[in-house]
Amino acid sequence: MSTTKSVCVYCGSRNGALPVYGEVATDTGAMLARNGWRLVYGAGDVGLMGLVANATQAAGGKTFGVIPVHLLKWEVGKRDLDQFIITENMHERKKVMYMNANAVVVLPGGAGSLDEFFEVLTWRQLGLHAKPIILVNAGGFWDPLVGLLDHVIAQGFADATLRDFVTLAADVGEAEAALQTVFTG
């Protein structure tokens, strides 16, 4: 079995409104490659997904992409990855991505990124895994989400430990440091 660490990156299939989102995606790809960590992601060649993958490849890193058949055209499946897997549906995609990663990093994104984040957070809350979940808060993008999590806790719908399952990183450097701590023990 390989000892290579893999990081699942959830992020947008669009570029978003601010240049910092693209910068953080490119920096994340370069950071993964620099550390010898394989990128696991949604196999898209558009938006932040494409930027992360292209930056990982440009820096000599390994890539593992998973895309459902119905998104091949929409997200422009990036077929020059080290591993390119086509699934039947979104549920299978998320499972394959999660099962092939040691940690999760969430960059800015839309409903899909939120869906993926909340699924792994719920699994963590239920004790189904102990993988780190890191939100990269580029330009304060995740501030409203963190506020929502705090609100859910304050209103009695989750224990305060819910926040312990999520690491908020101000930038890619903080995300890298958090991953290094987890991966090197």
Say what the pLDDT of residue 49 is. Answer: 97
173-128-165-61 Cα dihedral, nearest 10 degrees: 10
Query: pTM score, two decimals?
Result: 0.95
- How do residues 32-58 score in pLDDT, each as one tens digit? 999 999 999 999 999 999 999 999 999
144-184 pLDDT tens trace = 999 999 999 999 999 999 999 999 999 999 999 999 999 98
Burial class of residue 12, CB neighbours in 10 A (0-12, 13-18, 19+): buried
Query: Which domains can be identified in the chain, with CATH numbers?
Result: 6-184 (3.40.50.450)
For residue 183, with 0-12 CB atoms within 10 Å meaning exposed, 13-18 middle and 19 or more buried, which class applies?
A: middle
